[in-house]
Structure formats: C-alpha cells, structure tokens
Amino acid sequence: MFKKILIANRGEIAVRIIRACHEMGIQTVAVYSEVDKTALHTQMADEAICIGPAKSKDSYLNMQNILSATVLTGAEAIHPGFGFLSENSKFAQMCEECNIKFIGPDSQNIDNMGNKLKAREIMIKAGVPVVPGSEGAIDSEEDAISSAQKIGYPVMIKASAGGGGRGIRVVTKEEDLINAFNTAKTESKTAFGDDTMYMEKFIEEPRHIEFQILADEHGNVIHLGERDCSIQRRNQKVIEEAPGVAMTEELRKQMGEVAVIAAKSIKYKNAGTIEFLLDKYGKYYFMEMNTRIQVEHPITEMITGVDLVKAQIMIASGQVLPYKQKDIKIQGHAIECRINAENPSKNFMPCPGEIKSLHLPGGNGVRIDSAAYQGYKIPPTYDSMIGKLIVHGKDRQEALCKMRRALGEFIIEGVDTNIDFQFKIVNNKNFINGNFDTSFISKEFKNI
Ligand code: ADP
Ligand code: ADP
Ligand code: MG
C-alpha cells in the first residue's frame, strides 16, 4: 500500500480523498493555488504545496508543477479527483513515465473513453447499444444538414471532447441547425480546446441512468448498481438518487451486465461510470463513460456500503477487488443535493464571497461532503459547488423526508445558494411520485 498520496484537486473532493487516506493510514499532500492558501484541503492534508496562481491553467492544471510537488514530497501516487486533470490522458501518461501511480484508469483507457466519438465506436463494436447518431465527426455545415436529415429531428449536436454539459445543443428544425452547430463548436473550442462535433438523435423525455463500475488490475469487473441523475439544469446534474425509481431488478441486471461488458471491452481499470439514457419505452442507450470518480459517488456508497475512494486506492496499489458481484447488495435509498453558491433568481449566477455564518445539518442518515467553513471565502475562480448533502433512508419515502428535514436545517449566510431551490424540488409532487425525466426542471420551473 502507498505511504503517501498527493491529491491534485481542491474543494470537497480533495477533502473527501484526504479523509479516505487518513482512515487508511496514508500520508497526504495537498496542492493549492495562491487563493487556496486557507482552503480546507490545504489545512487538512499532512503537507501542502503551492503550485501557482489562482487560474486553473496555472495551478490545478499545471502538470509540471504538480509532478514536481509529487517528486519533492516523495508521494508515490496522485489522486486526481474529478474535473481538472482527472480525464487528461497526457497527465496519466506523464505519471506513468515518472513512475508515479495515477489513481484511476491508464492513459489508454482515458484516451479511448474521453473522446465521445471514439467511445461510441468502441461500444458499437462491443455490441453495446448506443444512441442512434452520425457515423463519425461532422466536419461541415453541409454534413450537419445531411446527418440531421438522416437521423431525423430533433437532434442533439455534441462536442466529442465535451463534459459538464457544455458543447451541447438540441435542434428541433433545420432552420436552427447551422447556428446551433456553429455556437456549440465555438463553445467546445473555448472550453476544451477541441471542436470535433457529432450528432445524436435527441431522445425525448429520457432518464439519465448511470452505472458505477469497479475494475481491478487483474481483470475483475463488477457494477454497484445505478444512479438516476435525471434532475438536471442545462444538462448539468442537480439532484441524484440511488437506486433509480424507474428501475426493476431485471433491468438493473441487464444494464449492469452491459456496463460490465463495456468496461471489459477496453480492459478498464479502477472506478468508472457508464452513463445511459433510458427512454419512455424502457430502451436504453450508452451515452458516455466517465473515467474517474464522480461527484455523485456518495449515494452509491450509502446504498452499497462500499467506500469507492478507498476502493480506488486499493485497486491502484494492485490489490484484487475484495468483492464479487454477488457481494453487492443494495440497501435502502440515498439522495444527494448539490449545494451551489449561486442565485437561482438571477439565472443561477455564481455567488462567490465570504461564508459569514454556517450551520450544517446532521443526524441519523445525513452526510455532508463539503470544504466550506465559517469565515471561508469562496473564490470566484472555480466551480460554484460548495458541498453535497446526502441522505440515506430505508426507502425513498424516508430518504425524501430526511432530505426535506436536512435542507431545512442548513444555514449559509453571506452568499446566495440554491438551498431553497433544492427544497422546492424535493417538495414537488412529480418528483415525489417519481414522475420525472431529464426535462423535469425546465418544465416544472419555467420562470426561474
Ligand atoms: P459528474 O457530475 O457526473 O461527476 P460532471 O460532468 O458534472 O460529472 O463533471 C464533474 C466536474 O468536472 C464538474 O465540476 C465539471 O465542471 C468538471 N468537468 C467535467 N468534464 C470536464 C472537462 N472535460 N474539462 C474540465 N472540467 C470538466
Ligand atoms: P457531459 O459529458 O457534458 O456530461 P453527456 O453526453 O453525458 O455530456 O450529456 C449530458 C446530458 O445531456 C445527459 O445527462 C442528458 O441529460 C443529456 N443528453 C445527452 N445526450 C442526449 C441525447 N442524445 N438525447 C437526449 N438527451 C441527451
Ligand atoms: Mg455525462
């Protein structure tokens, strides 16, 4: 087992990883940017090294500085968390070359799955159902028009390098196509430095169902059930729950097996997520694979009892997966609300600033993953997520009651948050009845 791990991330996920390391008796090294000198992850780790100015590209994306910090502190492995360098195959490869263990899949795995177009091709070959769409990249406006005609409107234009809901446009009629194609292309170039685009059939009123995978370095692959992440705003997740309300034991078995086949087809290693769309008729389609730990991983931990971050570390150290598929039992129901510093009435504009007062909910079945503390100044530079509120109940009904109760206890003063908005969602009749799909927020909350 590793003696020392460097965490190449910030915020709640860095704290989450440090906690797992400390429970495992592993020393931790935090890296931080100049604005994160007093951030919780910087303070909680055994050692902390400044890796550059606030801007991500100069610090949390600065591969040279992060590798130097690793060598300097004698850390043997790097945990990349999510976002930042977590899905950067070049970084994973540089780690491999420096003999530093990247806690995640190998660079080849990331290469294969990070590019959504390539991932589609690989999945088609493996016999995994994918969303119907263009055969390859869409290079020109003419190509876009003819592909859309072939696929049939509505279509979705997607960036091959995309992530976090960016570089995506839905088009319902031909006259809107060229404009949407060009704006999505520009957005992708700006966000990901790549403007390879492709097109999919727009699946109407689907649920977003994703399967958590764990794969060791000896060929063993299991799934840990699904998460329903249909509550989204602009293709970004807002609430996630596990298990999914629309799932049956039979469907879980089928989709889980497909997810395992998908992971095995690329000899995938470590934790990963296979995202599917489940349509109104019960048909499911592979959408993408995330080759990293996900924001919403705690809900799977709550219902399976498996610590996914510890599992990642154990796998990376070469251990054999200590669970077989039959050992994974789903117990109860978990829900996660992402708590963001943003103002829902101002089009969800991020609201950085000082947290003047903070009271976190607690009690039986309530978990908070956050890097916030009273007096902490949220910098404007990074993601606006300040924490995650996760609850676990014996069934969905109890989990919902706990979530309402916990959101009610939550107090954050000094910055605007989406807590009231989350409260409205968990009190919405259609949400309570499990009657929702990915269009839920846009339909139910038209005026915000
Ligand atoms: P999930 O919530 O399923 O883990 P998201 O797509 O919401 O995945 O991404 C998680 C985090 O990673 C978010 O903070 C998001 O902004 C960031 N992220 C996702 N993809 C990329 C990418 N390609 N480049 C940079 N950041 C990304
Ligand atoms: P990202 O990498 O940004 O997470 P995804 O490919 O996972 O991109 O898509 C993000 C979200 O967009 C999905 O969770 C889903 O709600 C929606 N989406 C993606 N593809 C389709 C599609 N073909 N039809 C309908 N909705 C889609
Ligand atoms: Mg996705």
Ligand 2: residues with CB < 6 A are 131, 156, 162-165, 168, 200-203, 206, 208, 232, 235, 275, 277, 287-288, 438
5 class by beta-carbon count within 10 Å (0-12 exposed, 13-18 middle, 19+ buried):
buried
- Residue 233 alpha carbon to ligand 1 centre in Å: 14
Considering every ligand atom shown, identify the ligand nearest to the alpha carbon of residue 191 and give its number.
1
- Residue 164's pLDDT is 84
Confidence class for position 448, pLDDT limits 50, 70, 90: confident
Task: For ligand 1, say whether the CB of 192 is within 6 Å of any of its atoms.
Answer: yes
Can you give the residue ranges of every domain in the chain?
4-103, 132-201, 207-444
The pLDDT of residue 447 is 77
- Are 307 and 152 in contact by the 8 Å Cβ rule? The answer is no
Share of the chain above pLDDT 70, in %: 100
Q: What CATH superfamily is the domain 207-444?
A: ATP-grasp fold, B domain (3.30.470.20)
Residue 3, pLDDT > 90, answer: yes
Question: Yes or no: is domain 132-201 CATH 3.40.50.2300?
Answer: no
Report strand pairing: 27-33 vs 4-7. parallel
CATH topology of domain 4-103: Rossmann fold (3.40.50)
* Mean pLDDT along residues 384-397: 98
Ligand 2: atom nearest CA of 131 is 23
Ligand 1 pocket, residue 383 CB under 6 Å: yes
Please tell me the predicted confidence (pLDDT) of residue 144: 97
Task: Tell me the CA–centroid distance for residue 275 and ligand 2, in Å.
Answer: 9
Q: Between the CA of residue 270 and those of 111, 304, 318, what are the distances in Å?
A: 15, 17, 10
Instruction: Read off the pLDDT of each residue in 303-328 and give the average, rounded to a whole number.
Output: 98
Q: Is 292 one of the annotated active-site residues of the chain?
A: yes
25-70 residue pLDDT tens:
999 999 999 999 999 999 999 999 999 999 999 999 999 999 999 9
pLDDT band at 165 (very low <50, low <70, confident <90, very high): confident
Asked if residue 10 lies in contact with residue 45, where contact means CB atoms within 8 angstroms, the answer is: no
For range 177-183, the mean pLDDT: 97
Ligand nearest the Cα of residue 10 is 1
CA-to-CA distance for 367 and 364, rounded, in angstroms? 9
**How far does the centroid of ligand 2 lie from the alpha carbon of residue 169, in Å?**
10
- Whether 311 shows a pLDDT value over 90: the answer reads yes
Determine the average pLDDT of the residues in 374-389.
Answer: 97
CB of 191 sitting under 6 A from ligand 1: no
* pLDDT tens digit sequence for 229-277: 999 999 999 999 999 999 999 999 999 999 999 999 999 999 999 999 9
For residues 447 and 85, which has the higher predicted lDDT (pLDDT)? 85
Query: What is the average pLDDT across 6-27?
Result: 98
Residue nearest atom 10 of ligand 1, based on CA coordinates: 83
Please name the residue whose Cα sits nearest to atom 3 of ligand 1: 294
The structure tokens listed for 444 are 């139910």
**Any atom of ligand 1 within 6 Å of the Cβ of 163:** yes
Residue-wise pLDDT tens digits, 96-118: 999 999 999 999 999 999 899 99
Q: Select which of 16, 252, 292, 367 is catalytic.
A: 292
CA 164 to ligand 1 centroid distance, Å = 4
